[in-house]
Copies of this chain bind each other. A is one copy, B any other.
Amino acid sequence: MRLNWGMIGGGEGSQIGPAHRLGAQADGLFTFAAAALDADPAKGREYAQRLGVAVDRAYGDWREMLAGERNRENRVDLVTVATPNATHFEITKAFLEAGFHVLCEKPMTMTVEEGEVIVKIAQSSGRICAVNYCYSAYPMVREMRAMVARGGLGRIRLVVANFSHGHHGDAGDADNPRVRWRYDPAMAGVSGQFADCGIHALHMASFITGDEVARLSADFASTIESRVLEDDAMVNFRTAGGTVGRLWTSSVAIGRQHGFDIQVFGETGGIRWASEQPNQVWYTPLGGRTQIMEKGEAGLSDDAARLSRVPIAHPEGFPLAVANIYVDLAAVIRGETRDGLPSAEDGLRSMAAVMAAVESAKAGGAWVDARPPMLR
């Protein structure tokens, strides 16, 4: 039987809303049963019904939805939180405490302390709190993780991750509301580009290497003068296991569209992946030729094989990476075990890394501990 799914935020015109709805429904695992889609209750109710949600479950806001679903017999099994960043903590906390499983958009919280609260609730309640680091659910990203885990590259020496784009490269955008808030501490918090995109890359580095970022040194720059927060950042780091890390992120890299890519170098080989061509991995064994690994080829790990839907060289893209998060969530809700779902702990680690990077950048690149106190 299908599971019931509800969504908070992601209303009409939202960028991420469609990806979640597609993600939840694409594989026929969830029925879109309840929603509170918009800050404007009337618009949210109307849009939910237009998307097929029954009138009595098309809610005006999340509190109404919590009240309406809480004691319902066929209540939603999973709630996706895709509201503005500052509200993630409160909503996620409330739904977890009410016993719902939650998939929260990133960032999970705005502070480390809030993150620790969520982790504790998730741990004590036994509810899932997943965070949507969806790039980790691409089949070939899972394959890289599996390669590293089975020792296919030997000890990992170095990981180099980039997440750069140029969509905020126009200084004339100073008054564009879609852009401006990201560099305004009142709305975005302590970090701009690193908190927005960098943490995806940092999560990916940890995810693939199976290792934790232990300490870091950051260089932040606001290359457009009107910006308070950084639009370009370089973060050097070391993992607990001693791997060297380099992470560059930028929003003024005009010509880079979605330049999220990662390279991992070990004792016996190197691999490379790019989000704009996500169905391949370039793998070079020490002393050998570079090989192009393809999603769907024979011999991939179970995880990579399981999360691919169509044959080799038939590309699958971003929305289906999001769908893979839902595939794994459905399995876990049903009691199966899935390794790789991004967790509340991952959300907390990201927040701690953001704080550490801000602190380091202010201190001229001093090396600081990147781990949340709770997980040290």
Contact = CB atoms under 8 A, between A and B. Distances in A.
Interface string A134-161: 0000000000000000000000011010
Nearest to A283: B255
Contact of A290 (B158, B250, B255, B366): B255
A74 interface: no
Interface string A269-286: 111100111110011111
Contacts of A292: 289-292
Nearest to A367: B364
A242 to B, nearest CB: 9
B255 A315 contact: no
A22 B25 CA distance: 8
Interface size class of A (residues with CB under 8 A): 35 or more
A108 interface: no
Interface in A153-177: 157-158, 160, 164-166, 169-171
A265 B252 contact: yes
Nearest to A258: B313
A248 B221 CA distance: 17
Interface string A282-315: 1111110111111001000000000001111111
A271 B255 contact: yes
A291 B289 contact: yes
A263 B278 CA distance: 22
A317 B263 CA distance: 23
Contact of A255 (B18, B257, B282, B320): B282
A236 interface: yes
Max chain B Cβ within 10 angstroms of own Cβ: one of A2, A28, A320: A28
A312 B270 contact: no
A165 B317 CA distance: 21
Given A25-B26, A28-B21, A234 B252 contact: no
Contacts of A52: 1-2, 28
Contacts of A263: 253, 255-256
Contact of A166 (B25, B253, B265): B265
A376 to B, nearest CB: 20
A66 interface: no
Given A158-B252, A315-B318, A309 B276 contact: no
Nearest to A236: B219
A111 to B, nearest CB: 26
29 contacts: A21-B27, A21-B28, A22-B26, A157-B223, A157-B224, A157-B232, A158-B221, A158-B223, A158-B252, A166-B270, A169-B270, A217-B365, A221-B244, A236-B365, A252-B265, A253-B270, A254-B285, A254-B286, A257-B294, A257-B313, A277-B277, A279-B317, A289-B292, A289-B297, A292-B292, A314-B317, A314-B319, A317-B317, A365-B367
